[in-house]
């Protein structure tokens, strides 16, 4: 192993030597474990780097990453120096921390880990995610970003990122996920997500279930935070779609909600393109567009042409991403019942007439039976597998679910083998899709890249 790579691995080993709740089975949410006072103390110790730039805080169950990626691309094309903090990563840790479209370099991460070590020793019981978050905030400050897109790790109220005072809060669609931790009902989960809403800070919400919308709006009213419902404010029309992306036209914008209205007539009727497929991505585009209009109200200057270029150049892997045209292979990070409904709709819409082979694996805390029940009539073959992630469900447990649902499945103990099995079953009228977990999607992409050298 080269010296630089060895130093990078040692830095990661150090970060992961702390409490890492993302790897913990049967985790329970509590103030003792998720303590914002500890995070605030830590950030104060390192100079409160998060106060040196503006930020947008994004919570939600699905669509956080895609929405942040769109916003990052639009702002970057508008001439702004942007930061983007997301989790988890799909293939490499450096995906989590970016300036513009560039990941943090491994060498820079090593230096930041060395820099932060003495401070870590002074705060008891820091977690892996808290340390990573502090590193991201420090990196953005050092890089003099003007605005950072900060994605919530889990929940919102007690998440380590919930120490920032953003110029804008955004909540993407809320659905059932992390129920052992956040609660078993949409209402309870929504209350946790609503924890990011700050006093007088504008709130953008995506299309929500009725109870989720109610919780968000009531919380916003308590905090005197104006609410901008993207589903009500903007109507889009899908004009063209392919396996590479889709175009849409803005049919309607309710102008009364915005201060800077000069740009709105130029957006109406305008056609935009995003290199992401699926109807749900249009919902994410609405949320991003409302956020950009609000940023213009807050003093940012982003033109229609910059919005057009930003949408077109959006780069977000693992969301119905095509990693090969011949054979046809897609990966998707769908991992709960709501995202699987959207996943199923996209499969039916884009791959009608093709044999569909699904490589499926999931974390042990996910609603596997719901997910497979949704997809069983759409896919032709299911290959069950697991990654090496500590929370990955054993193949034997997945097998029990498919047997209960009377789904004929093939079982593979490794992701590498599952891909080889799928390829042997493939002909020119077949699509292979990997889903169920971002880790399955990432593993398939990494294996395919290693095999093909791409």
Q: Does domain 321-452 have CATH number 3.40.30.10?
A: no
**d(C-alpha 249, C-alpha 271), whole Å:** 4
Strand 430-435 to 355-360 pairing: parallel
Domain map of the chain by residue range? 3-312, 321-452
Residue 60: name the closest of 307, 330, 291 by CA. 291
Residue 362: name the closest of 322, 323, 400, 389 by CA. 389
C-beta separation of 81 from 146 below 8 A: yes
What's the distance, Cα to Cα, between the start and end of the chain in Å? 22
DSSP string, 22-47: GG-TT----TTTS-HHHHHHHHHHTT
**d(C-alpha 239, C-alpha 126), whole Å:** 49
pTM as predicted: 0.92
Q: Which helix (H) or strand (E) holds 1?
A: none
**d(C-alpha 375, C-alpha 27), whole Å:** 28
Helices first, then strands: H and E counts in the chain:
17, 17
Residues 6+ positions from 210 with CB-CB distance below 8 Å: none
CA-to-CA dists, residue 298 to 69, 202, 258, 260, 355, angstroms: 20, 10, 10, 9, 50
For tokens 């569909």, name the residue.
356
Residue/partner pairs of 347-352 with CB below 8 Å, 24 or more apart:
347/375, 347/378, 347/379, 347/433, 348/378, 349/279, 350/241, 350/243, 350/277, 351/431
What are the backbone angles phi and psi of residue 207, rounded to the nearest 5°?
-55, 130
Give the burial class of 1: count Cβ atoms within 10 A of its Cβ; 0-12 exposed, 13-18 middle, 19 or more buried. exposed
C-beta separation of 327 from 452 below 8 A: no
Longest dimension (CA), the chain: 61
> pLDDT tens track of the chain, all 454 residues?
688 899 999 999 999 999 776 555 444 445 456 679 999 999 999 999 999 999 999 999 889 999 999 999 999 999 999 999 999 999 999 999 999 989 999 999 999 999 999 999 999 999 999 999 999 999 999 999 999 999 999 889 999 999 999 999 999 999 876 555 676 689 999 999 999 999 999 999 999 999 999 999 999 999 999 999 999 999 999 999 999 999 999 999 999 999 888 999 999 999 999 999 998 999 999 999 999 999 999 999 999 999 999 999 999 988 899 999 999 999 998 888 888 998 999 999 999 999 999 999 998 878 899 999 999 999 999 999 998 888 889 999 999 999 999 998 999 989 999 999 999 999 999 999 999 999 999 999 999 999 887 6
DSSP string, 147-204: EEEEE-SSSSTT-TTTT---SEEEE----S-SHHHH-SSHHHHHHHHGGG--TT--EE
Architecture of domain 3-312: 3-Layer(aba) Sandwich (3.40)
């Amino acid at each position: 192993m080269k010296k630089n790579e060895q130093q990078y691995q040692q830095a990661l080993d150090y970060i992961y030597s702390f409490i890492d709740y993302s790897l913990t089975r049967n985790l329970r949410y509590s103030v003792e474990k998720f303590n914002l006072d500890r995070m605030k103390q830590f950030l104060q110790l390192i100079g409160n780097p998060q106060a040196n730039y503006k930020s947008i805080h994004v919570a939600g169950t699905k669509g956080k990453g895609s929405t942040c990626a769109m916003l990052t691309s639009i702002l970057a094309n508008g001439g702004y120096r942007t930061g983007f903090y997301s989790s988890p990563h799909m293939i490499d840790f450096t995906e989590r921390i970016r300036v513009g479209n560039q990941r943090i370099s491994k060498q820079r991460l090593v230096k930041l880990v060395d820099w932060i070590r003495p401070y870590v020793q002074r705060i008891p019981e820091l977690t892996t995610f808290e340390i990573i978050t502090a590193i991201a905030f420090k990196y953005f400050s050092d890089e003099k970003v003007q605005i950072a897109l900060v994605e919530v790790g889990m929940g919102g109220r007690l998440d380590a990122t919930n120490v920032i005072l953003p110029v804008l809060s955004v909540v993407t669609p809320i659905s059932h996920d992390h129920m052992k931790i956040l609660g078993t009902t949409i209402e309870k989960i929504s209350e946790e997500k609503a924890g990011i809403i700050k006093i007088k800070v504008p709130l953008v919400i995506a299309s929500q279930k009725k109870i989720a919308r109610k919780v968000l709006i009531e919380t916003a009213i308590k905090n005197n935070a104006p609410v901008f419902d993207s589903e009500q404010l903007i109507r889009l029309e899908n004009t063209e779609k392919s396996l590479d992306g889709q175009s849409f036209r803005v049919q309607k914008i309710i102008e009364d909600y915005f201060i800077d209205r000069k740009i709105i007539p130029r957006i109406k009727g305008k056609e935009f393109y995003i290199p992401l497929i699926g109807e749900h991505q249009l919902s994410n585009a609405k949320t991003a567009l409302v956020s950009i209009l609000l940023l213009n109200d807050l003093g940012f200057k982003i033109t229609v042409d910059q919005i057009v270029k930003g949408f077109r150049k959006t780069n977000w892997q693992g969301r119905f991403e095509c990693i090969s045209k011949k054979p046809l292979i897609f990966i998707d990070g769908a991992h709960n019942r709501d995202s699987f409904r959207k996943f199923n709709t996209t499969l039916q819409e884009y791959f009608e007439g093709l044999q569909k082979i699904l490589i499926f694996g999931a974390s042990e805390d996910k609603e596997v039976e719901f997910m497979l029940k949704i997809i069983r009539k759409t896919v032709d073959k299911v290959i069950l597998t697991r990654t090496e992630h500590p929370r990955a469900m054993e193949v034997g447990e997945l097998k029990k679910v498919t047997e209960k649902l009377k789904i004929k499945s093939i079982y593979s103990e490794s992701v590498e083998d599952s891909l080889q099995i799928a390829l042997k079953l493939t002909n020119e009228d077949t699509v292979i899709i990997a889903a169920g977990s971002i880790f399955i999607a990432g593993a398939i992409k990494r294996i395919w890249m290693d095999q093909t050298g791409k």
